[in-house]
Structure 1
Amino acid sequence: MLDANAKGVYVIAPTPFHDDGRVDDASIDRMTDFFLEAGCTGITALGMMGEAPKLDGEEARAIASRIIKRAGNTPVVIGVSAPGFAAMRTLSRAVMDAGAAGVMIAPPSSLKTDDQIVNYYAQAVEAIGPDIPFVIQDYPLAIGVVMTPGVIRRIVQDNPSAVMLKHEDWPGLEKISALRGFEQDGSMRHISILCGNGGLFLDFECERGADGAMTGYAFPDMLVDVVKLSQAGKREEAHDLFDAHLPMIRYEQQPGAGLAVRKYVLQRRGIISSQAQRKPGGAISATARAEVDYLLSRLAKHDPRAGKRIG
């Protein structure tokens, strides 16, 4: 079961599709195997970059179960955010029965006040049950809900099953420091903090007290290395590796194009068979592909993994 001491890299898994939009089970297996071989300490599926809203309930449960089974003893977190609590409860119970380590819940964009946010999480816990450990997803740039450090502290203190924050505020370094400060002064119990945003700020997030990453950059093996180097106190090595990847990370972070870029690189690396997104979804242009290829060729001068195909 997921707990507050989780560390490392919980990679966000995209959902592989065939060109015609069918779920690609073989690519799911190959992708899961790659994540484990890359040293990821966990996997998060059916998140925003997993195209979860494009799946029906049966598909979502099947994909989650397949990844959980393939991952073996590696913890898997499943995104269960939904417009209503009935769907959230059904999916949460199904994936936990299948062996998930916990679930991730994002606040709906309709929440405007601190009390509304705190009450929403209390109701979500009531719906899924207090026995299911959950991740608070804090992604104001995409969701439009701003959770201050004080609000997160209230959610954590009110709900013992809140064990992790997926920190994806931007800028958010001061938020990490504030939350760790609450722990130091005893006003908030310890929780795991894993960070998103494609790894764009991971170098300093680790130094501010984050426990690692929960994101989906196309080189999760690099994220694993950066987190390990940072935790070992090898600051210069961590920053040198991170800096080599930064142009590619930046390119992948383009709003609206990020998933297409990520799937293209994963396909180039031999991890998934197709870069297809399920409709509605876009694809990168030939010019963009050429730019990505150029970035990868430059990256390969510093990290040979950028020039190798897996499998």
Structure 2
Amino acid sequence: MKLTSAAHGTFTIAPTPFHEDGRIDEASIDRLSEFYGEVGCAGVTVLGILGEAPKLDAAESLAVATRFIKRAGDRQVIVGVSAPGFAAMRGLAHAAMDAGAAGVMIAPPPSLRTDDQIVTYFRQAVEAVGADVPWVLQDYPLTLSVVMTPAVIKRIVSDNPSCVMLKHEDWPGLEKITALRNFQKDGSLRPLSILTGNGGLFLDFEMERGADGAMTGYAFPDMLVDVVRLSKEGKRDAAHDLFDAHLPLIRYEQQRGVGLAVRKYVLMKRGLLPSDAQRKPAANLTAAARAEVDYLLSRVARVDKRAAL
């Protein structure tokens, strides 16, 4: 089933599991997929920044995406297809959709500077992958260095009907969500799903500003599922209480260069990965850092027993 602007809930960002020697760990893809279904994720996004996509060759990228798609069950799978050139983007997008993906995600290259350059790039990207392929606009200026104002996002969405979702990762970004929802209220922007990233760092208030859910790779996607659900049910204090318990670990993950290492380490401790290996080049956790993560987990466990590892 193809992705639409009605998409909501938690779309977890899946890591790419590796063996210690750098080979792709297919069995762990299956284990992760089963877990995401068990905890209530609405979808899975693969080959994102967390998925170490730049470290995979074309064949490996398609193999990873296809394995996740085949194991997804009734969950939608979004495949990151961002690439330096449109030929590679087109090839992976078409292959992923043929394999059963719900849609693709496209991020802007860091070279874009002006509003017109940004709008033109995405128009050309849609021409490359085809207007029949639903896609997610990734807005992540902290890493990609491309700043998209609400007005620019409105132009991109209005010009490209196949854009059905925004992955919102601006920081600060709460006012951006409000601005986009106000565009919809005044009729100048069509319906658009907004899922938020940034490790879930502002998910509690992003939901209150009008986000439809989360799309991030925090190692407790089951917590994200619960916070999204509680927010939609109007149980504000319960949502914030659960979120606040995890916030120190979420903050720790936000350290540049070690965030992925932290997430894979926690997933390993949760029994979902046999190894926290990353494909080189990579930054590994020191013994001191692992001890700090263990301490943070013990504090989270005082409120959320899922962290009692």
Do these two structures clear the TM 0.5 threshold for a shared fold by scoring above it? yes
Which runs of structure 1 show a deviation greater than 6 angstroms over 4 or more consecutive aligned residues?
none
* Cα separation, 2, equivalents of 1:132 and 1:100: 10
Q: 1:72: how far off?
A: 1.9
Aligned twin of 1:214: 215
Q: Note the 1:43-192 alignment, pairs <5 A.
A: 43-192=44-193
Q: Which amino acid aligns with 2:206?
A: E
Three-state SS of the structure 2 residue aligned to 1:227 is helix
Three-state SS of the structure 2 residue aligned to 1:50 is coil
* Cα separation, 1, equivalents of 2:189 and 2:146: 21
* Cα separation, 2, equivalents of 1:40 and 1:274: 23
Aligned twin of 1:239: 240
Three-state SS of the structure 1 residue aligned to 2:20 is coil
Q: Which amino acid aligns with 1:120?
A: Y
Three-state SS of the structure 2 residue aligned to 1:281 is coil
* Cα separation, 2, equivalents of 1:239 and 1:288: 27
Q: Which amino acid aligns with 1:194?
A: L
Aligned twin of 1:36: 37
Q: 1:286: how far off?
A: 0.2
Q: Deviations over 1:49-83 (max 9, x none)?
A: 10000000000000100000000221000000000
Q: Deviations over 1:211-249 (max 9, x none)?
A: 010000000000000000000000000000000000011
Q: 1:253: how far off?
A: 1.0
* Cα-Cα RMSD: 0.5
Uncovered stretches (5+) of structure 2, i.e. residues with no partner: none
Aligned twin of 2:17: 16
Q: Does 1:277 align with 2:278?
A: yes
Q: 1:38: how far off?
A: 1.0
Q: 1:189: how far off?
A: 0.4
Q: Deviations over 1:83-134 (max 9, x none)?
A: 0000000000000000000000000000000000000000000000000000
Q: Which amino acid aligns with 2:75?
A: T
Q: Which amino acid aligns with 1:277?
A: Q
Aligned twin of 2:225: 224
Q: Deviations over 1:24-68 (max 9, x none)?
A: 001111011111111100000000110000000000000100000
* Cα separation, 1, equivalents of 2:259 and 2:97: 30
Aligned twin of 2:256: 255
Q: Which amino acid aligns with 1:101?
A: A
* Cα separation, 2, equivalents of 1:171 and 1:272: 33
Aligned twin of 2:195: 194
Q: Does 1:265 align with 2:266?
A: yes
Aligned twin of 2:5: 4
* Cα separation, 1, equivalents of 2:230 and 2:282: 36
Aligned identity (percent) is 71
Q: Deviations over 1:223-278 (max 9, x none)?
A: 00000000000000000000000001101111111000000000000011110110
Q: Which amino acid aligns with 1:3?
A: T
* Cα separation, 1, equivalents of 2:195 and 2:274: 29
Three-state SS of the structure 1 residue aligned to 2:136 is strand
Uncovered stretches (5+) of structure 1, i.e. residues with no partner: none
* Cα separation, 2, equivalents of 1:218 and 1:125: 32
* Cα separation, 1, equivalents of 2:172 and 2:40: 28
Q: 1:190: how far off?
A: 1.1
